[in-house]
Structure 1
């Protein structure tokens, strides 16, 4: 297995710059792994593929407006801080933009507190200490950290937030969840499908392509997640009734399979903590029966995960088909349901 096995050509015009309006008017490519059958639908038709004994699992993380503009002290040169992980009330792991940002350097956050760089973690990553807690100020000071391939500004921050987002902590949206509207969720519940919710805080490493020739040598990133007891019970009930566990997004897949692989028992346990689970072709899926996901970047760990759930050959063929059919790719793009 080589990283180049997960490469594909995508015309730039296929990269969605704006979300669909309404959210559930995005397209939905439905693929059945058993017979290779493909259907082209609209996202609001998702309930057609769910049954009363199924459980749909969503990630209710909330994206924080983590991009902060700053000035260097002294001198006033421009800098940028992108919050990644909160290490304490005033201490964060961040990515910085600007020259000369070494340990000891001070920054003035525009219209906010001062900060000092404590540690160089390599590359653009730093540990930074603010003069006061920054979290309560983020809605006023911060901007949403859009992926680098989206060049069109948001009309409002809620566009890059799921309608069910609750727990702040992500540097990127769980994009499969962006398609859901309250009406879609209500239609799913009307069919007797149980809605369950986990939390996984998405890091920016999710966008980093695999640069090693051998994907197994890629240093996989860690993300914090929580699979609560009520989700565990909902999954157990669905499995016992012959229903399927439908994971909305690769983040949900990662959280559920992390919990399952911490135990040797058949039942999934409750889990809370960091996960470094790396899902490549050949992975043993213990929980997830169906996956709802967007179309992912070439050579990305997310594309590799999807290629583990179906096959690499099937996924790349579907991506080629989606390109020809005019599907929109990446964070604001269309969705795929893999059964």
Structure 2
């Protein structure tokens, strides 16, 4: 087990910080590295976490990464990272298909994990990883950043206030012309738009409507020559009469907006996965109020801080993204892919 799990008092008394290591050195890893570097200079986080190590399958690449961001340690293999007793938290920043096995390996090596979305490829894998975490009494959390941001609390406050009336409908869209990225177009890497982009739109609707599963799903999409989903639209219908619309695409660009519609007005969010503003409209489409999201470092700091605090408190999950939340979203994406009869080669 990590040296700091459940030891907040000792950490405070001895000035110890949660040492974060990054597994993988791709694009999202650079985002996290920048975030960790900025956190060390911020009064809110400087005494909580510290960037410690990076691991890549290339020693040269890992060293260059560490030099760029000031990480004191680098490894040319993932196994070396897992063997280092100084590592408290591993941020897993590899393609989806590796998440389950790497998370389990880290947990079995006594490391807490923060796993980039989507958490795994399917719900069975998610259950297996979470089971290992619970047996190990270690933190295991999904790094789906909108769940941890202040914008989530703001969204919930608007909905709970009753200003929009009875909420019956929601819509979320996220697109990007990134199908040429190797991992997005490779079935063996669990590519496609759903696990990479649709996961955000589905999480938005889940946050807005509350933690519940739809009773009926209608969905379809277009698929590339490898059988991967290029774009899709999914309608979710719930027992209480609520309906959610989720659209994602890796072949088109869009405004990435999300909306919640109620009997007395509606809310429009600018940016479904990184909300910038929230605009509240009345029944006659008049703008009532615009809410601005607090200034942030990169947006990733909230998930890191939540994971670090959970480690110090000896918790196995983060309250913003509980294990049951992760499993529910994975089950939902499994159901959607099932409607398409889309499976990845390694799932056969």
Answer yes or no: same fold by TM over 0.5: no
Higher relative contact order (CA 8 A, sep 6+): 1
Greater helix proportion: 2
Please indicate the TM-score interval, normalised by the length of the shorter structure: under 0.3
Q: What TM-score comes out, normalization by structure 1 length?
A: 0.26
Q: What TM-score comes out, normalization by structure 2 length?
A: 0.26
